[in-house]
Chains A and B, each alone.
Chain A
């Protein structure tokens, strides 16, 4: 026997309690990791290099207010702007679905070519998309989801606009942060919105991340005091403000996470306290045999930490396995794409479990340290 096997035998002496404790820690860790992953999924905007180069220009009053198409000539002359395209959210439904599970945008195909920074054409021909105003450019994830191929048709039902585009798939893009979108020619919308006098937003690419702030300032200034003042912001800032419309997701997940951690702490502290209380007499005997306070504290700490560690391994490892083998994109109808349990989130979950394991040992260890051997022995005879 060595000290480690002594600690292990003590920790495992009550099988039911060990199972329940490890399960509690595992479930709590799984919940915590899942919440953190959800928060990351919902709040972290695209972090690609392209995202820092793209700027979205929208009506200062509201995202729903259109912008005059004549702004294009002003925007494209601003130094630092490399490419610019109208970018109008269509928001139609596809294949009889009642909700829009992927976004569709009307764009200028020729101008949009310069905006696909990190994307690539996976199949089909982009020039075909440019040539044929009734064709569309579709994200690879949507192609896979609906088992589509180049040449197939996609028929959308308009919800904001009185048009039901029936589009031929000309090309497929992949490699962007979100490979779900469908893009079609803005001219189709122009036909029903008064000959191309308005767009939803402007989507533009700047020469470098360094010049982006200057470009944003210049665009905002260019339309100040006009009939359609604009608000230009980076794609990241735009995504963040868009997510803010869902509510304060971060605070919500943080609050639930705090409750989970607190509950986990109560479970651990209660379990360790009960476990040590039952063994007061044995610990008094250990002291009588010559074990010092620090050694007994180490035993309690190792036991508590060990149970928390095993629970964390099961909980965090199980969560990682679960989410990495489940098609959440399909299950969530495309709402959640990656749901990646990152090493950072796993490390955070492990750290929380470890800290709780240590905290749980403190109260019982203090009680044992304060107990005189004679008092401990007196309780047993």
Chain B
């Protein structure tokens, strides 16, 4: 069953209440994503791409429809189960890096592992491996404000990888980076899908970034465009 979709989205709707108005962010989206795919979600602002990403990653709940990730209906998990599920199955990369400023790169990457039963030495080994993978072994003890934007994003990718999740979700990961750093980050994400067996789902406005993916999905007005 290796080729079964890792993500199955069916008839997904998400409606936000804004004052007296209902705003439809997603309107009956259905999509399958296979393991090791690197999918770029594209579309204009307000098209629902970030909402779709959030629902797949289990950080928001749909109004209706189902999101199955590795056969688990994410919407049916309670708050606590969802937190555990995210810790074990999803790695997050954000546009603004979102590293904890008082922690070093090493400590930021170690953060998700504090929720596991791993011993200190095992945590250290995993963190070092993740930082080595993104090419930041030499700057692991620097705080975020001592790192460039590209380096910070690589720390964020290491943090997303360190628990060895099947799914990496990235929300405009190159949005705050210069061209060179953006290319470096995209190559790392591409390598994760190609060589490390991760499924990467990325929201981006940038066609150059999307070109690193194996597939692009275009959303418009809450629906997948043909």
Binding site for B on A (CB under 8 A): 1-3, 6, 9-10, 12-13, 281-282, 285-293, 295, 372-374, 377, 380-381
Contact = CB atoms under 8 A, between A and B. Distances in A.
Interface stretch (B3-11, B65-73, B87-95, B214-222): B87-95
A374 B112 CA distance: 18
A373 B84 CA distance: 14
B79 A3 contact: no
Given A289-B87, A290-B112, A292-B79, A374 B96 contact: no
Given A288-B92, A292-B79, A381-B172, A9 B86 contact: no
Given A1-B110, A3-B114, A289 B103 contact: no
Q: Which of B54, B80, B83, B114 has the most CB of A within 10 A?
A: B83
B102 interface: yes
Nearest to B89: A290
B17 to A, nearest CB: 12
Contacts of B132: none
Given A2-B114, A290-B86, A291-B83, A381 B102 contact: no
B142 to A, nearest CB: 15
Given A287-B83, A288-B86, A291-B83, A1 B103 contact: yes
Contact of B101 (A13, A289, A295): A13
Q: Chain B's interface: helix, strand, loop or mixed, by majority?
A: helix
Contacts of A374: 51, 54, 59-60
Going nearest first, the 8 A-B pairs with the smallest beta carbon separation are A290-B87, A374-B60, A373-B59, A292-B83, A9-B102, A285-B98, A1-B107, A13-B102
B34 interface: no
A289 B92 contact: yes
A54 B85 CA distance: 75
B171 interface: yes
A9 B103 contact: yes
B96 A380 contact: yes
Nearest to B112: A289
Contacts of B88: 290
B83 A281 contact: no
B115 interface: yes
Q: How large is the interface on B (under 10, 10 to 19, 20 to 34, 35 or more residues)?
A: 20 to 34
A288 B169 CA distance: 11
B114 A6 contact: yes
A290 B89 CA distance: 10
A343 B192 CA distance: 62
A377 to B, nearest CB: 7
A3 B116 CA distance: 12
Given A1-B103, A9-B103, A380-B98, A289 B54 contact: no
B94 A377 contact: yes
Interface in B163-220: 171-172
A285 B60 contact: no
B147 interface: no
Contacts of B107: 1, 6
A381 B102 CA distance: 20
Q: Which of A3, A9, A295, A373 has the most CB of B within 10 A?
A: A373
Interface string B28-68: 00000000000000000000001100100101100000000
Contacts of A290: 83-84, 86-88, 112, 115
B60 A372 contact: yes
Given A292-B84, A377-B171, 18 more contacts: A6-B111, A6-B114, A9-B102, A282-B100, A285-B92, A287-B59, A288-B59, A289-B112, A290-B83, A290-B86, A292-B80, A293-B79, A293-B80, A372-B59, A373-B60, A374-B59, A377-B54, A381-B94
Nearest to A5: B107
Contacts of B92: 285, 288-289
8 contacts: A1-B110, A285-B92, A287-B83, A291-B115, A292-B84, A373-B54, A373-B60, A377-B59
B86 A289 contact: yes
A286 B112 CA distance: 8
Nearest to A381: B95
Nearest to A296: B83
A6 B103 contact: yes
B204 to A, nearest CB: 13
Contacts of B110: 1
Interface string B104-130: 001100111011000010000000000
Contacts of A292: 79-80, 83-84
Contacts of A286: 111
Nearest to B110: A1
A158 B198 CA distance: 99
Contacts of B60: 372-374
B59 to A, nearest CB: 4
Contacts of B115: 289-291, 295
Contacts of A12: 102
